Structure 1
Amino acid sequence: MLKQLTALEGLPGNLNPNPRCAPINTFTDQPSMEHHPSMADLPYEVLTYILFKAPVKTLIKLRSVSKPLLSLIDSPCFIRLHLRYSIATSSNVTVILRRESELFSVSLESLNAADELAHPLMCYSNRIRVLGSANGLLCITNVAEDIAFWNPSIKKHKVLPFLPVDRPCDHGMSVCGARAYGFGYDSAHDDYKLVRISQFVDLESEGFASEVKVFSLRANEWRRVEEMNYVLCYLKKNGTLACGALHWVVTKKFKLDEVDQIVSFDLTDENFRELPLPKCLEDQRVQIEVGALGDCVSVTADYHDVRVDVWVMKEYRVKESWFMLFSIARTEVVGSFKYLRPLAYSKSGKEVLLVVDNQRLVWYDLRKKRVKNVKILGMPDLFEAEICLASLVPVEASRRGYGKKHNLSEENHKKKRDDFLSEGFKLVL
């Protein structure tokens, strides 16, 4: 079994993560069968240390090998450790491509073939929408507004309680002008949240009102939060997740000549705040789109027939930390295009994957200022793209600190184990 484990891609061959652990033989040794150590001889911590760097597909296969491996890989501690490693090393990153009611997944590192995903919602011969992604969970919905949190890697999902729209009759608003969603992770409460913004417009007075509701996975319920006093610029545009907050492009008034700006919704304190723009974009009537690159908020400024500038905010909410990552002229480098959006950095950080006209993907070299076309087997000819981690994260809420009282000695044992694994994780990085 040890020989089979170490033959798997991505698993180290000689590892002793902590001097306090008993020494183990080099896995490349070839002892006779009667002296070959069994998997049970490995300490729990050492086996965890070996496996948490493995790809998700490998771990899913290993779950069926034995009950001890199943118990280990399904444990909350291991799932958290694997997720932290994936985020810190930009591993297990996938690109989700959506065409009408079809969803496809392709590895960001290889970008070689698109695998079709069997999503859990009825599509009613219509389209499926991806509302967002966080830690390997996708939030998807259909035309009937059924909504599900779904982990395509482990093929588990949870359908959310249906939520009707409450029209704010007391405001005299009768027209639903926009509906937007945002999905993200609240790290302070270990909770996954979906935000729904419904806006109502009075066409005569140009006034507006909004209804904002948040679904909490831990509470398994929708609740109403403070109203958003801004107008959404783009219909059905999802909120962008970055730095623990969701972001939308908005204006302060329901008027065509208003300057665009960005508003954020903090997933922990559940408050709306304005996000400062680069100084050169503050008073310009330029079309902007908010996105995320790596761990940072990004803004794409589209100067129509001239060029597209991409800005990145190095330090969240610090206006002076904005810097221009690159600028692409409309007729140069990429070729003629109508729409361009940065999607993700390459693993080296030297290239940016761009979506062009929702029809093709290209790598943009930040140093050479050149592009390289991406050819993916099975890629749809027209698509929307979303970045998603492949992870083991469950779609059921974490109940740590809730419910029945646990045995104190067991809790202490788990804490010591988590502390050990955290130290090992830091050593790896």
Structure 2
Amino acid sequence: MIEYLPCEVVLDILSRLPVTSLLHSNLVCKAWHNLVQDPLLVCMQFSRTIDHDPCLIFHCDYPIQNQLFSLELSALSKDVQRVNKIRVPVLPEFEVLGSCKGLLCLCDSSAKDIVYVYNPFTRDYIELPKSTELLHQNPVFGFGFNQTTSQYKVVKAVYQKLPFRRCGLHHYYGGLISLQAEVQILTLGSPAWRNLEKLPYHLHQGPSQVSVCGRLHWRSWPRQFRSGCLIISFDLEDEQFREVPKPDCDGLDRPNFHLLDLGGCLSATIYDTYGQFEIWIMKEYNVKESWIKEFNIGNHVPRSLEEMDWNSAAQPFRDSKLYRKSSFVRILCLLKNGDILLLYKGRALVTYDRKDGTFKDLTFPGLPSWFEAVVHEGSLQWID
């Protein structure tokens, strides 16, 4: 009877489905195939993503490179929820730099100046123009969306490894890296990168991208002769870097915290050596006094990690670049039911009930053995 319904009613019904269900609807019949391609449906579906939990994109590079999988978090209450494999285009070995408004930003693992923007559900992607090549570069990336102009932007801060005889250097993991960064930015659709003013901060490429209030955020490394780390933001509209006030908390002066977006608020997670951590949340953006310590989360070891023989099972994965940058525990996002979703050692997903302080280990058919998880808003929009 659906063919007798007005088109706008059918579009409204379909727009309430998760993106993976829309992909399945695309195969029902020719009429539905045409509907799923309708730009109005794409916009309606994406506008409703704020009402639902996002999806997770799992990136695996061992034993096979460039593997991506997806999981709909909005369907966690279902008895059976599968992880779906994504058909990835033929690309060089890549790293996932960030996710924003339905698109992923990828870069070539070996040639950091080759950057792609990719929709994992439409398999649509573009290779961005190459930026100015700098020898011995150590880039930090950001990927965001300007709501005012409806434009995607890629930011690249490049730090050069300089000879030991130069002055004004910062000692970092056995090498000398310039304190100032050459900053370049590309607006999607533009033919070339633009140069911005040099950045006098050494940014840290965190485990996840943090985009809050139209700004991208990074933690800085401690500077010579100055104590403490800083929180640095980049405004996607006026393209200016600024310092964001931190709370009066000793943990945020040491480089053992990560920034994250928790329920639309800029937040910081401070870890200790025993897997415990506390979460600070800035309730009102850019107001120092609005920082509060919201949670203290205790130590937890998922059953899959307790039962695992690390000598035999983890040894092959140590060849993966994802293993080297994975921490023991990382917060992924805040779910709509109030639970916090956690990732343990690139292997186990766990929810934390902040009401009663309990943990729940999650298992899904098709979940890869080792992975890096990216919180993603699924969309069927085309890059052009």
Classify the TM-score, shorter chain. Answer: 0.7 to 0.9
Return the TM-score normalized by structure 1: 0.71
Q: Is the 8 A contact 1:290 1:297 kept in 2?
A: yes
Return the TM-score normalized by structure 2: 0.79
3-state SS, counterpart of residue 50 of structure 1: helix
What are the residue-to-residue correspondences of 1:228-239 with 2, within 5 Å?
228-234=199-205, 239=209
CA distance in 2, matches of 1:122, 1:392: 21
Q: Is the 8 A contact 2:42 2:381 kept in 1?
A: yes
- Of 213, 235, 257, the residue aligned with 1:266 is 235
Once the two structures are TM-superposed, the CA of residue 246 in structure 1 deviates from its matched residue by 1.1
1:184 aligns with 2:144: yes
2:14 equivalent in structure 1: 51
Q: Give 1:187's aligned amino acid.
A: Q
CA distance in 2, matches of 1:285, 1:55: 40
2:318 equivalent in structure 1: none
CA distance in 2, matches of 1:201, 1:163: 18
The total of aligned residue pairs comes to 343
3-state SS, counterpart of residue 138 of structure 1: strand
1:104 equivalent in structure 2: 69
Q: Is the 8 A contact 1:286 1:301 kept in 2?
A: no
- Of 331, 335, 349, the residue aligned with 1:342 is 331
2:193 equivalent in structure 1: 222
2:159 equivalent in structure 1: 199
CA distance in 2, matches of 1:180, 1:242: 18
Q: Is the 8 A contact 2:218 2:232 kept in 1?
A: yes
Summarize the Cα distance change of 1:283–1:346 in structure 2 as closer, same or farther, 3 Å threshold: closer
- Of 106, 116, 133, the residue aligned with 2:85 is 116
Once the two structures are TM-superposed, the CA of residue 379 in structure 1 deviates from its matched residue by 2.1
3-state SS, counterpart of residue 181 of structure 2: strand
Range with bigger deviation, 265-274 or 325-334: 325-334
CA distance in 1, matches of 2:275, 2:329: 13
Once the two structures are TM-superposed, the CA of residue 110 in structure 1 deviates from its matched residue by 3.7
- Of 388, 395, 400, the residue aligned with 2:376 is 388
1:359 aligns with 2:347: yes
Range with bigger deviation, 326-335 or 299-308: 326-335
Once the two structures are TM-superposed, the CA of residue 71 in structure 1 deviates from its matched residue by 5.6
1:243 aligns with 2:206: no
What are the residue-to-residue correspondences of 1:292-371 with 2, within 5 Å?
292-305=261-274, 307-330=276-299, 339-349=328-338, 351-371=339-359
Q: Is the 8 A contact 1:341 1:355 kept in 2?
A: yes
Once the two structures are TM-superposed, the CA of residue 147 in structure 1 deviates from its matched residue by 2.1
3-state SS, counterpart of residue 315 of structure 1: coil
CA distance in 1, matches of 2:300, 2:73: 27
CA distance in 1, matches of 2:29, 2:84: 28
Summarize the Cα distance change of 1:114–1:220 in structure 2 as closer, same or farther, 3 Å threshold: farther
Range with bigger deviation, 62-71 or 279-288: 62-71
Give a deviation string over 1:121-147, Cα, whole Å, max 9, x none.
Answer: 423xxx421011112111112233432
Summarize the Cα distance change of 1:64–1:113 in structure 2 as closer, same or farther, 3 Å threshold: closer
Q: Is the 8 A contact 1:114 1:379 kept in 2?
A: yes
CA distance in 2, matches of 1:69, 1:254: 61
CA distance in 1, matches of 2:271, 2:365: 31
Once the two structures are TM-superposed, the CA of residue 201 in structure 1 deviates from its matched residue by 4.9
Q: Is the 8 A contact 1:194 1:216 kept in 2?
A: yes
Q: Give 1:147's aligned amino acid.
A: V
3-state SS, counterpart of residue 291 of structure 1: strand
Give a deviation string over 1:135-165, Cα, whole Å, max 9, x none.
Answer: 2111112233432211111221112122242
Once the two structures are TM-superposed, the CA of residue 191 in structure 1 deviates from its matched residue by 0.7
CA distance in 2, matches of 1:324, 1:283: 12
- Of 43, 55, 59, the residue aligned with 1:94 is 55
1:253 aligns with 2:216: no
Summarize the Cα distance change of 1:322–1:329 in structure 2 as closer, same or farther, 3 Å threshold: same
1:150 aligns with 2:118: yes
CA distance in 1, matches of 2:30, 2:343: 43
Q: Is the 8 A contact 2:221 2:255 kept in 1?
A: no
Question: Could you list the runs of 5+ residues in structure 1 that have no partner in the other structure?
Answer: 3-37, 168-174, 397-429
Question: Could you list the runs of 5+ residues in structure 2 that have no partner in the other structure?
Answer: 170-178, 307-325
Q: Is the 8 A contact 1:333 1:370 kept in 2?
A: no
Once the two structures are TM-superposed, the CA of residue 74 in structure 1 deviates from its matched residue by 3.4
Q: Is the 8 A contact 1:181 1:237 kept in 2?
A: no
Summarize the Cα distance change of 1:148–1:109 in structure 2 as closer, same or farther, 3 Å threshold: same
What are the residue-to-residue correspondences of 1:12-161 with 2, within 5 Å?
38-39=3-4, 42=6, 44-63=7-26, 72-87=35-50, 89-91=51-53, 93-100=54-61, 101=65, 102-110=67-75, 112-123=81-92, 127-143=93-109, 144-145=111-112, 146-161=114-129
* Percent identity between the two aligned chains: 29
Q: Is the 8 A contact 1:293 1:342 kept in 2?
A: no
The CA RMSD measured in Å over matched residues stands at 3.0
Q: Is the 8 A contact 1:286 1:303 kept in 2?
A: no
Q: Is the 8 A contact 1:333 1:369 kept in 2?
A: no
Summarize the Cα distance change of 1:381–1:254 in structure 2 as closer, same or farther, 3 Å threshold: farther
Q: Is the 8 A contact 2:220 2:230 kept in 1?
A: yes
Q: Rg: which structure is higher?
A: 1
3-state SS, counterpart of residue 209 of structure 1: coil
